Structure 1
Amino acid sequence: MSAWIIRAGKGGVRAPEWINGGYIAIYWNLDGADISALSKDDIKALYRTQFPDASRQVVAANAGMIFRFATEIAKGSTVVMYDPATRLYHIGKVSGPCVFVPPKDSDDDDGSYRRAVNWEFTAPRDALSARAKHSLGSISTLFAVSADTLRELKKASNGTPSAAEEEQEEENSSEVREATAEDGIERIKDRVLQLSWDDMEYLVAGVLRSMGYKTSMTSRGSDGGRDIIASPDGLGLESPRIVVEVKHRKEAMSAPALRSFIGGLRNTDSGLYVSTGGFTKEAVYEADRALMPIKLLNLDQLVRLIVDNYDNADMDTRAILPLVRIYWPA
């Protein structure tokens, strides 16, 4: 039986709803037609009626992807979906036909075509070889997974890491650029995870400086739940005063840790809690119910913040995390 990988929207934004809902989806209306009963040429014709301004190349690419989703992915096929927030590949089996789900209301999107999935196991990205990471970050929204890569995913789900291998270049297109940008985010996360805990604190301070704040680091060992103070004056005397706690570990931060951090803040403070291991649902709840502004940043959010502000980063920050800009033909 074949295996497929499908991207859960840009940046994996739809991954949580797919996991919780037990499905995968593509987000086109196509007039609610039963696309599983259509040939590829029929889907092309239908796509042209819905998107008359689309180029021939776009029609061919999207119609092919829609046909694969509705027809070539059979019941029992293996599907793989990546969640950037947790750095986990979710692997499951398709358990139902292709069905159209209309929009909930007039302000919603155009609806979606869905396939029910029984999610069976997860594989951490960190346990995969460079070759497997590269193949799973390919240019398409939906594409076949090689037998070798699927074997790596299954091994990784059992905690067996793979050796790094060389990667190959991808061809130039807008979809390539988008996929490459997302792959770049993942590569940066790989590098950030290799930083020492003190470099991690300095990196977070550098990001805040790139956003216009001045920062001061607290004394080691007795910070009382605060690693960095950021403010307009650098002394913590002017508002907004941001108190920052940085946790560089694999484990998700719990509610007690958040309560302890919030308890050490002044009423006029804002709190920023950075955790490369993410946060439990209870911890997120604690932050939401706090009386002062509390912002939680997981690894994915932190790296995207770094990328967005890297042009303004100082030399100290760039030394901790060297990045290069890639230019593409317009």
Structure 2
Amino acid sequence: MTYDPATREYLVGRVTGDWYESNDDEVSYVRPVHWYGSASRDALPTDARARLGCGTTIFRVSEDVATELARAAGVQGWVCVPEVQKKGGEHEASETPRVDETPAVGLDDDARAASAEDGIERIKDRVLDLEWDQMEALTAGLLRAMEYYARITARGPDGGRDVIATPDALGLESSYIVAEVKHRKNAMGTPEIRSFIGGLRPGDRGLYVSTGGFSRDARLEADSSIIPVRLIDLDDFVRLYTDVYDRVDEETRALLPLVRIWWPA
């Protein structure tokens, strides 16, 4: 089994051969794997997610967790299988056996990286449990931690202006950051991004936060905008939040509190 953080999916397959040493300097071993399918992390119960982590090391899952994975993927007959990590972090389920690569495990750096990535995935789980209005407040808190003056707009038709952030407290300096926040599972497409860009004014800077991510065409639409627009998905948001957490105010920390974990150098 291996985990793809971009899609929040666990890919499950069967090892079809023995380990052998790779000539590639970036990996130590390779092993052929026949992929069966994938299961969404969001479809798993909390205890299964906690026990699986982010899957950056090789391990064998327990039978009860394997059962939950099979249920989430709608596949019968899965058994406990070891995880294999492909170099570069990109995975595709396939009916054709192929060779995947995994870094050597057991070193402090690998364990530390695995723990850090597992923490990121657990924070994502917490973010997805928030209500939509809490997600707007969290976005405003993130912008304040980044030294902007941010406020949530009044309820009602806002034209995609959920949060407004300015460089100064009076809002007299340019440029305004106009943020739209979508807290839902489905990815935002081109129509949503196009509508958001259409509501921006000259001098604005657009920020679109979507916990469900964005389609490829939506990203292309943002890239082609004359007005600067930044798209932030769940992974981007969590990593930004952890980067500035030391500057996050108490009100925002109450929504998503974190604990720093120390590791020996």
Scaled by the length of structure 2, the TM-score of the pair is 0.77
| Aligned: 1:146 with 2:67 | no
The letter for the 2-side match of 1:280 is S
CA distance in 1, matches of 2:180, 2:35: 35
Q: Which residue of 2 aligns with 1:193?
A: 128
Deviations along 1:176-234, one digit per CA (max 9) or x if unpaired, are 43322222111111111111111110100100110111112222112111111111014
Root-mean-square deviation (CA, aligned residues, Å) is 3.0
Residue 275 (structure 1) aligned with residue 210 (structure 2): yes
Distance apart, 1:131 and its partner CA? 4.1
SS class of match (2:172):
coil
Structure 2 residue 71 is matched with structure 1 residue 135: no
Query: Aligned with 2:193: secondary structure?
Result: helix
- TM-fit CA distance, 1:288: 1.3
Written as runs of structure 1 = structure 2, the 5 A alignment for 1:39-54 is: none
Partner of 1:91: 12
Q: Which runs of 5+ in 1 are unaligned?
A: 1-79, 104-108, 160-171
* Deviation per residue, 1:94-146 (Å, 9 max, x gap): 5788799988xxxxx85886556554322111232444323322886323333
Distance in structure 2 (CA, Å) of the matches to 1:188 and 1:213: 23
Percent of matched pairs sharing the same residue: 56
Letter aligned with residue 134 of structure 1? A
Partner of 2:197: 262
Q: Cα–Cα, structure 1 residues 85 and 140, in superposed 2: closer, same or farther, change >3 Å?
A: closer
Equivalenced residue count is: 235
State which of 151, 155, 165 in structure 2 corresponds to 1:216.
151
Change in CA separation of 1:241 and 1:115 when aligned onto 2, cut-off 3 Å? farther
Q: Is the 8 A contact 1:139 1:176 kept in 2?
A: no
Q: How much does 1:283 deviate?
A: 0.9
| Aligned-partner SS, 1:249 | coil
CA gap 1:101/1:240 in 2 versus in 1, 3 angstroms: farther
Letter in 2 for 1:133: R
Q: Show CA shifts across 1:227-250 (max 9, x none).
A: 111110144432232110000111
Identify if the C-alpha distance between structure 1 residues 98 and 227 changes in structure 2 by more than 3 Å, giving closer, same or farther.
Answer: same
Match of 1:245 among 180, 197, 215: 180
Larger Rg: 1
C-alpha distance in 2 between matches for 1:202 and 1:272: 15
Q: Distance in 2 between matches of 1:224 and 1:142?
A: 47
Q: How far, CA to CA, are the matches of 1:302 and 1:92 in structure 2?
A: 30
**Residue 286 and residue 144 in structure 1: after superposition, are their counterparts in 2 closer, same or farther (change >3 A)?**
same
**What is the alpha-carbon distance in structure 1 between the residues aligned to residue 15 and residue 202 of structure 2?**
51
Q: Which runs of 5+ in 2 are unaligned?
A: 76-106
Residues 98 and 256 of structure 1: is their aligned pair in 2 closer, same or farther, counting only changes over 3 Å? farther
Alpha carbons 2:2, 2:55 under 8 Å: kept: no
**What's the CA shift for 1:326?**
2.1
Partner SS for 1:183: helix
Check whether the contact 1:216–1:235 (CA below 8 A) recurs between aligned residues: no
CA distance in 1: counterparts of 2:54 and 2:164, whole angstroms: 41
CA distance in 1, matches of 2:135, 2:12: 31
Question: Which is further off, 91-100 or 283-292?
Answer: 91-100
Greater fraction helix: 1
- Does the alignment pair 1:286 with 2:202? no
